[in-house]
Amino acid sequence: MSQHLLTVDSLSRESVDHLLRVAARMEPIASRRQVTRVLEGAVLGNLFFEASTRTRVSFNAAFCRLGGSVCDTTGFTFSSMAKGESLYDTSRVMSGYCDAIVMRHPDQGSVAEFAAATNVPVINGGDGPGEHPSQALLDLYTIDKEFHRLGKSLSGAHILLTGDLKYGRTVHSLVKLLSLYDPLRITLASPPGLEMPSTLIDLVASRGHRIEQRESLANDFSDLDVVYATRIQKERFTDEMNESFQGLSDDFMVNRDFLDQRCNQSTIVMHPLPRDSRPGANDLNVDLNGDPRLAIFRQTDNGIPMRMAIFATLLQVDTLIEQQLRPARWFVPSQIGTLDR
Ligand code: ASP
């Protein structure tokens, strides 16, 4: 694995498999049965210049669960960037304070520019419509765990990616990551104008995968293994697009009817979250809450072991984890969410 995690392009199949294995070893710590101090004394700089709940908090929690501490800053308004500071200067300054940096920024390519000024590991927490590599890794880890539970294999699986495939950075990273594996069937369904960039489609096809595009979900998906729904990224729209876009039509509704009538009993539902629950958004429907096929909260939980694995690997303590384990002493509910199954 290279020094930074900026894009999925820097990951080989071997390095991804390594991260999946390290994440599995983090499970006892992530589920609060064991404690490690392997990153004791280390400091993470969490720089979020765009909205975030899951990514910021889970990177923070993952670093703390490894025994490190976190300095957090959010929004441009409270940073020196509001005074005109360059990414280069901010990067060099932060590197003097921190042992690893996670950064989210609205401009594509900005995190790579930031990383060019430092030898401290930098993780891309989302650069505009570009990439979100740690999300793709936790998504793959989720698919792997769910398939293991269901007795399925990734090889030959049918995966549907739907919603905003143009601006959705999580699907950009995920489709590239999946393309490192044995041939898959990938269906892309998005409203006109929000299709996945053709460079990505061509890349996936060139690696031997069967990739098809659809303009709605009105098809037979009875062999579907995963539906991965995404939010319409309205914050990335131009004014013109904002005026003409009326919201996602119900042709793209992922709800109980879609699963029951078009998919099968073992199709799992994923979403990077947040889902837009406002009327008319037609994002992933809440009528699936409590349905065991809805994997979205198992997916968010998986963010902790995977992000721990990323830190442990980049900071080269991945071989030390087992040596440092102690039992956790505080109370943890056996079921985290009230609707968990
Ligand atoms: N949380 C994801 C991201 O930051 C997905 C989204 O915002 O829709 O890309």
Q: Is residue 3 part of a domain?
A: no
What is the rounded CA–CA span in Å between residue 332 and residue 272? 25
Handedness of CA 302, 308, 311, 316 (dihedral sign): negative
Residue 163: what are its φ and ψ, rounded to 5°? Answer: 110, -140
- Name the 3-class secondary structure at 211: strand
Look-up of token digits 């919201």: 247
Predicted pLDDT of residue 241: 86
Task: Give yes or no: residues 292 and 313 share one domain.
Answer: no
- Residue with CA nearest ligand 1 atom 4: 126
Task: Give yes or no: residues 144 and 93 share one domain.
Answer: no
Locate the ligand 1 atom nearest the alpha carbon of residue 104 and give its number.
4
Task: Give yes or no: residues 150 and 122 share one domain.
Answer: no
Domain extent for 37: 8-131+302-327
What is the rounded CA–CA span in Å between residue 318 and residue 311? 9
What is the rounded CA–CA span in Å between residue 39 and residue 99? 10
Task: Give yes or no: residues 33 and 176 share one domain.
Answer: no
Task: Give yes or no: residues 139 and 86 share one domain.
Answer: no
Look-up of token digits 């071989």: 319
Ligand 1 pocket test, candidate residues 103, 169, 194, most atoms within 8 A of CB: 169
Give the CATH number of the domain where residue 253 resides. Answer: 3.40.50.1370
293 lines ligand 1 (CB under 6 A): no
Q: Is residue 314 part of a domain?
A: yes
Predicted pLDDT of residue 78: 65
Look-up of token digits 């131009």: 238
Task: Give yes or no: residues 280 and 141 share one domain.
Answer: yes
Structural domain count, the chain = 2
Task: Give yes or no: residues 152 and 288 share one domain.
Answer: yes
Task: Give yes or no: residues 146 and 292 share one domain.
Answer: yes
Task: Give yes or no: residues 148 and 263 share one domain.
Answer: yes
Predicted pLDDT of residue 49: 92
Each residue's pLDDT tens digit in the chain (341 positions)? 889 999 999 999 999 999 999 999 999 999 999 999 999 999 999 999 998 999 999 999 999 999 999 998 877 666 777 778 899 999 999 999 999 999 999 999 999 999 999 999 999 999 999 999 999 999 999 999 999 999 999 999 999 999 999 999 999 999 999 999 999 999 999 999 999 999 999 999 999 999 999 999 999 999 999 999 999 998 999 888 888 887 788 889 999 999 999 999 999 999 999 999 888 888 999 999 999 999 999 999 999 999 999 999 999 999 999 998 999 999 999 999 988 87
Predicted pLDDT of residue 239: 86
In a 13 Å sphere around the CA of 62, the CA atoms on its Cβ side amount to 30
Task: Give yes or no: residues 162 and 284 share one domain.
Answer: yes
Q: Is residue 337 part of a domain?
A: no
169 lines ligand 1 (CB under 6 A): yes
What is the rounded CA–CA span in Å between residue 155 and residue 200? 20
Task: Give yes or no: residues 111 and 171 share one domain.
Answer: no
Q: Is residue 341 part of a domain?
A: no
- Residue with CA nearest ligand 1 atom 2: 272
126 lines ligand 1 (CB under 6 A): yes
130 lines ligand 1 (CB under 6 A): no
Predicted pLDDT of residue 187: 98
